[in-house]
Amino acid sequence: MLDTARDVPTPEGIELSLRLAGPAARALAWLIDLVVRVVAVAALGTALGILGKFGFGLMLIIWFALEWLYPTVFEVWFAGATPGKRSLGLVVLHDDGTPVGLPASLTRNLLRAVDFMPFLYGFGLLSMLMSRDFKRLGDIAAGTVVVYREAAAQHAAVPHAAPVPPPTPLPLSEQRAVLDLATRSTSLTAERAEELAALVPHLTAGRHGAAALQQLIAIANHLVGRRA
């Protein structure tokens, strides 16, 4: 697996590439949603204040619904994303890449009570750091992942370079990893691309930094069938 990309095979034989969202992006999305809920509660509380105790009781019911049903409503009926997730380009999906359904969304969101313990999503953060898919406990129970929403028809091409065959025959998984790095190299920072290239020293023949990255791009050109 390259960086935070995860390949998911479909029954039709098509392989989806999902880019997993880490704890930082998810925490920021949660903060945005928290602000949305607080503003909504404050506005409704002011409007219902004129109803006295009845208004207060009604406000408690609305607060409960906003806290526990708000994420599920948006995830199931608004393309898998709350306003906070949508603002950061995140979306909740089933593990197989299909849109999240009501049972899974309810499960992952009701278990936020456990993820929140002992303080400020302590268990949830620990779970994400220990999971290769950045899953909190609710995601594990529901079989869901949070990924970046990719733009439609966003397919980068392998940058042109003089093709170089790999030093040894590569298994399919390594071929995919090399091609993924080559296609994403133009969208990554130079430092990150070179860091990823350093993970396969057996393909870069002792090269380092930009030279190692260029060697992998040359191998990628060979893999896609280009000839000098």
Q: Which residues pair with 6 in a beta bridge?
A: 18
Cβ-contact 93, 99 below 8 angstroms: yes
Could you tell me the residue ranges of all domains in the chain? 5-148, 172-221
According to the model, what pLDDT value does residue 156 have? 54
Rounded Cα gap, residues 102 and 140, in angstroms: 16
pTM: 0.65
pLDDT of residue 155: 44
Single-letter code of the amino acid located at 184: R
Q: Which two tokens stand for residue 203?
A: 């393909």
pLDDT of residue 10: 55
Degrees, nearest 5: CA angle 96-99-103: 95
Q: Confirm if 148 and 26 have CB atoms less than 8 A apart.
A: no
**Of 70, 63, 82, 146, which is closest to residue 110 (Cα–Cα)?**
70
Say if CB 62 and CB 41 are below 8 A apart. Answer: yes
> What are the per-10-residue average pLDDT scores of the chain (228 residues)?
63 65 94 94 86 86 89 93 95 90 95 90 93 93 91 61 88 84 87 89 88 92 80
Q: Yes or no: say if 113 and 164 are a contact pair by the CB < 8 Å rule.
A: no
User: How far, in Å, CA of 2 to CA of 187, rounded?
Assistant: 14
- Chain-centroid distance of CA 160 in Å reads 29
Tell me how far the alpha carbon of residue 227 is from its chain's centroid: 36
| Bridge-based pairing state of the strands 90-94 and 144-148 | antiparallel
The amino acid that residue 180 corresponds to is D
